């Protein structure tokens, strides 16, 4: 019942002007900061590890800014779920679209990352082409079905559960459907390796170079950010990666983290710091989150 009430509230809020929604999102973020001590602690640990050059006051300020951005991402999701195509398009500025257009018609992986506006990039892509994405199964069936429905509201989308593995993704790639792929969370090292992220060994999925090899795909990074002064969002496509993959899985996986780290430094408050990015440790190394 609580989930359904929350969804109903999001539906009501999506009728409001964007600036007012953003303000409400900031308020929600401030409340989450106050009342979710465990996640606040995770964010503080992550930022201490990744930005040791900042003092305690600077990191504390950054944590608060991140909670505000996270709160906005929740409230503004109502725009993506229920607003018209025209309203959404007016809020999105696209940069580097030629990199996306030049790669269409080939097996294409749109490499993205867990920034707060991640779903905005997915919404733009679904408005312009049939695509592929993966999702993690939710405990709440109603919420999971709603999310899947809303992700595919503008076009035919192929949404595969992460538990299904990569075989259906490879099939879709070979049929030239762009794959919107994020690979920057800690899913242990079962399908990954330890490579540095902000100088800290981080368990990182090594699936991207394998997918590129199996489907002969191109990699075009795609990052979405929230613009300042309530100007909406930016979806930025970057040039297709050349000489990728190499013959070294570690080097290829490290390139992913290096690219994401560069983007995080550009907008650190918008990266998803509430996730235990460094949860899996090399054998014998103590957890950072104890």
On whether residue 276 sits in a domain, the answer given is no
Task: Determine the straight-line distance between the first and last CA of the chain, rounded to whole angstroms.
Answer: 33
On whether residue 281 sits in a domain, the answer given is no
* pTM recorded for the entire structure: 0.95
On whether residue 287 sits in a domain, the answer given is no
Token couple for 193: 């390796």
pLDDT value at residue 87: 97
On whether residue 248 sits in a domain, the answer given is yes
Helix 207-215 / helix 249-266 crossing angle, nearest 10 deg: 120
Token couple for 181: 């792929």
Domain ranges, residue 214: 2-270
What is the pLDDT confidence band of residue 156, given thresholds at 50, 70 and 90? Answer: confident
On whether residue 289 sits in a domain, the answer given is no
On whether residue 47 sits in a domain, the answer given is yes
How does pLDDT run across 207-240, given as a tens digit for each residue?
A: 999 999 999 999 999 999 999 999 999 999 999 9
Question: Region 44-68: what's the mean pLDDT?
Answer: 98
pLDDT value at residue 137: 83
The residue that leads in pLDDT, 35 or 247, is 35
Residue 190 has pLDDT above 80, yes or no: no
Token couple for 97: 């679209």
Angstrom distance (rounded) from CA 11 to CA 15? 8
What is the pLDDT confidence band of residue 99, given thresholds at 50, 70 and 90? Answer: very high
> Considering its fold, how many domains does the chain have in total?
1
On whether residue 36 sits in a domain, the answer given is yes
Token couple for 222: 């795609």
Residue 86 has pLDDT above 90, yes or no: yes
On whether residue 130 sits in a domain, the answer given is yes
């Amino acid at each position: 019942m609580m989930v359904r009430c929350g969804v109903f509230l999001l539906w009501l809020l999506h009728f409001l002007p964007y600036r007012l929604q953003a303000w409400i999102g900031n308020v929600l973020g401030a409340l989450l900061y106050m009342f979710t001590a465990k996640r606040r602690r995770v964010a503080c640990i992550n930022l201490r590890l990744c930005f040791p050059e900042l003092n305690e006051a600077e990191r504390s300020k950054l944590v608060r800014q991140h909670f505000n951005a996270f709160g906005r991402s929740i409230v503004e999701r109502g725009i993506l779920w229920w607003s018209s195509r025209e309203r959404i398009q007016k809020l999105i500025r696209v940069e580097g679209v030629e990199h996306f257009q030049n790669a269409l018609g080939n097996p294409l992986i749109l490499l993205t990352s867990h920034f707060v506006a991640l779903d905005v990039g997915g919404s733009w892509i679904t408005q312009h082409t049939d695509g592929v994405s993966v999702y993690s199964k939710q405990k709440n069936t109603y919420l999971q079905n709603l999310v899947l429905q809303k992700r595919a509201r503008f076009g035919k989308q192929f949404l595969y559960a992460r538990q299904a593995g990569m075989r259906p993704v490879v099939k879709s790639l070979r049929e030239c459907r762009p794959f919107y792929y994020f690979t920057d969370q800690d899913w242990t090292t079962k399908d990954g390796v330890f490579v540095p992220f902000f100088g800290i060994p981080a368990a990182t999925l090594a699936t991207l170079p394998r997918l590129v090899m199996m489907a002969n795909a191109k990699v075009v990074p795609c990052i979405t950010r929230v613009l300042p002064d309530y100007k909406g969002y930016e979806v930025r496509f970057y040039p297709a990666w050349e000489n990728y993959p190499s013959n070294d899985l570690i080097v290829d996986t490290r390139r992913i983290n290096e690219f994401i780290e560069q983007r995080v430094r550009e907008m650190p408050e918008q990266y998803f710091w509430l996730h235990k990015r460094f949860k899996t440790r090399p054998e014998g190394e103590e957890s950072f989150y104890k």
